[in-house]
Amino acid sequence: MAMKYVFVTGGVASSLGKGIVAASLAKLLQARGLRVTIQKFDPYLNIDPGTLNPYEHGECYVTEDGAETDLDLGHYERFLGVHTSKANNVTTGKIYNTVITKEREGAYLGKTVQIVPHITDEIKRRMLLLGKTGRFDVVITEVGGTVGDMESQPFVEAMRQLQWEMAEEDFLSIHLTLIPYLKAAKELKTKPTQHSVQELQSAGVHPDIIVCRTEKELTPEIRRKIALFCNVKPGHVIQSIDSWSIYQVPLNMKAERLDDMVVAKLGLESLPEPDLDELKGFLYRLKHPKAEVDIALVGKYVELQDAYKSILESFVHAGAANECKIHVHTVHSEHVDAENVEEVLGQMDGILVAPGFGERGLEGKVTAIRFARERRIPFFGICLGMQMAVVEFARDVLGLKDAASTEACPNTTNPVIDLMEDQKTTTVKGGTMRLGAYTCHLEPDTLAWRIYGTDEISERHRHRYEFNNAYLERMEAAGLKVSGRNPDTGLVEIMELPSHPFFIAVQFHPELKSTPERPQPIFIAFVEAAMDHRAGRGMKK
Ligand code: GLN
């Protein structure tokens, strides 16, 4: 079978959920037995989003092979349960970097280097790269940005060339637009969609399917009108209506027959109907919780929900697994202090201290951790959350009052969290952290070992600082237990407090591997502990 390529572009507005539509289609095709991957092409000039402020672009998602990528790759992995890699996220910055490096090496033999053909050739090469690995039947490419943006033009031109080069049945283009509803006129408006499709067509790309984001049902008349004016087949205009859960979208797309249209155009009609039972089971549990808990997410990027996307999704998965509705309360770490901590966190059934960078909000995190430790509230620390749990323990239990991470206090006399030797000489910021999957050995008979039910795990990292092993003996003598270690370097990856009902903190990012069908074990156990804590509190009342 020839490789099949599906392209998803967006128009009218950004944030329409192109990633979710692409991932939903991928899910449906996968459930019909195809091997599918999704890649994202982003039009900005950063080489990767690793150096972007989470306020700008949301969470930075890290792949197994250590690429810092767009958060949409998180959706791809959660929907498909298949790992992505460096090759799945390409930016304009990467494209130009390759072309300019080649130019400096003299690879263009004196030719004038131009957007067409040199940049577009490099875009096409990367668009086809995953398809050449033999690992997939279908590659879905999401083109970031909005059609008509100056920045997206080379991507659309590369798509046009591929459409021209490929056999009709190997190429499919989906355009996602917005159909706004005008309350005063009580009408859905199609004009912005018509203009957006015209824009795409004037660049030479003809969409096969138009997916319309809408708050209200599209009538058959509206669908017909869009089809006629946009020159697509009747029936090839479908709706993506606002949904109660992103995981419902594959089923909505199925109801709109998106996968049927795609397999028909790609000549794959003989495939069986998709098997979506596992997803349906998950959605049923999500919709019918039997308990509820309140969990605080303490971090400093709380204004933008996308900054903690994978953590929030992990709670959705772990909630469904426990048939428990989780109310996540985001708490700004800069607004927590010894005075108000009781008021802010006193009613919580669990406290999660989030990853982060820099100095701001650190003391609030330490305060929240102390509260969880002393009040015996289930605690889960991730990355910076673990580092601050170590700082808190060192200060309060070991009595090292100035214990700190050298990230915040480079001159502290007690650097309980410090840079590794190889990081001390690193000056370049992009792509130089400890990134990607590392093995971790679990200590038998610890909480972590019971949670995972195995001796060896692999989780993904993204950090520069580490537990300083010079303090290990003193910490363990005082009651801190190191339950997970990197077998090659001896670095501390998990710490816990056995005297506490549930206190666990990890240097890695467990949230990156949680999926609806395979919820992350620590999140499941943390929610369970929160449910127990709530039940205990209820009994005391
Ligand atoms: N800032 C810390 C470090 O670089 C923690 C990073 C994180 O939480 N992802 O080590």
* Pocket flag, ligand 1, residue 384 (CB < 6 Å): yes
Q: Which amino acid is at 40?
A: K
How far is the C-alpha of 314 from the C-alpha of 506, rounded, in Å?
Answer: 15
Which segments of the chain have a pLDDT < 70? 538-541
**Contact in structure between 322 and 293 (CB atoms under 8 Å):** no
Phi, psi of 75 (to 5 degrees): -60, -45
Is 292 one of the annotated active-site residues of the chain? no
Helix axes 362-374, 384-396, angle to 10 degrees: 70
* Pocket flag, ligand 1, residue 461 (CB < 6 Å): no
In this structure, the strands spanning 61-62 and 68-69 are antiparallel
Place of tokens 């979506």: 276
In ligand 1, the atom with minimum distance to the C-alpha of 509 is 9
Cis omega (within 30 of 0) on the bond before 117? yes
- Give the pLDDT confidence of 298-336 residue by residue, as tens digits: 998 887 888 999 999 999 999 999 999 999 999 999 999
Bridge-partner residues for 481, per DSSP?
496
Pick from 339, 407, 345, 401: nearest CA to 377: 345
Burial code (b: 16+ CB inside 10 Å, e: under 16) for 511-541 equals: bbbbbbeebbbbbbbbbbbbbbbbeeeeeee
In ligand 1, the atom with minimum distance to the C-alpha of 466 is 10
What burial class does residue 289 get, using C-beta atoms within 10 Å of its C-beta: 0-12 exposed, 13-18 middle, 19+ buried? middle
Bridge-partner residues for 61, per DSSP?
69
Distances (CA, A) of 402 to 60, 410, 496, 497: 31, 12, 22, 21
- Cα R_g (the chain), whole angstroms: 25
Look at ligand 1, atom 5, and give the residue with the nearest C-alpha: 384
Q: Give me the pLDDT at residue 538, please.
A: 64
Pick from 260, 187, 245: nearest CA to 218: 187
**Helix, strand, or coil (residue 153):** helix
**Contact in structure between 534 and 349 (CB atoms under 8 Å):** yes
How far is the C-alpha of 495 from the C-alpha of 481, rounded, in Å?
Answer: 6
Tell me, what DSSP letter sits at residue 354?
A: P
Active-site residue, from 60, 212, 383, 440: 383
Active-site residue, from 236, 317, 500, 509: 509
Q: Token pair of 222, please?
A: 């509206």
CA of 508 to the centre of ligand 1 (A): 9
Dihedral (Cα; 145, 148, 154, 160), 10-degree rounding: 110
Q: Give me the pLDDT at residue 344, please.
A: 95
Ligand 1 pocket test, pick from 59, 61, 357 with the greatest ligand atom count within 8 Å of Cβ, gives 357
Integer distance in angstroms from the first to the last C-alpha of the chain?
A: 65
- Give the pLDDT confidence of 179-200 residue by residue, as tens digits: 999 999 899 999 999 999 999 9
Phi, psi of 42 (to 5 degrees): -105, 135
Bridge-partner residues for 405, per DSSP?
417
